[in-house]
Amino acid sequence: METQLVGQYLDEAKSRHGLFFVGWFNCDLWTDSDHRKKQAPKMSIDEAREQFEKQAAELSKEGRVVKAFVMETAMR
């Protein structure tokens, strides 16, 4: 978020507002042998939302506003 959204896109565009969008693909239907399950973050979507919202708040300073949005995209 800091490197890509703030350091690259916002700074280069001289913009003060940014949205960091995350698609959350962790799926309860994945089996232990599924490579996606092994590569997926080991946290809940609520923990991810909390982490990204906290990071966005920390990056919102000096007139800059950064928001994070984590969208559930997994099949149920």
- Per-residue pLDDT tens for 21-60? 999 988 777 888 988 888 888 889 999 999 999 999 999 9
Which pair of structure tokens corresponds to residue 41?
């973050």
Tens digits of per-residue pLDDT, 59-75?
999 899 999 999 998 77
- pTM of the predicted model as reported, rounded to 2 decimal places: 0.82
Map out the domains of the chain as residue ranges. 2-72
Contacts of 69 (CB under 8 A, 6+ apart): 19, 20, 21, 22
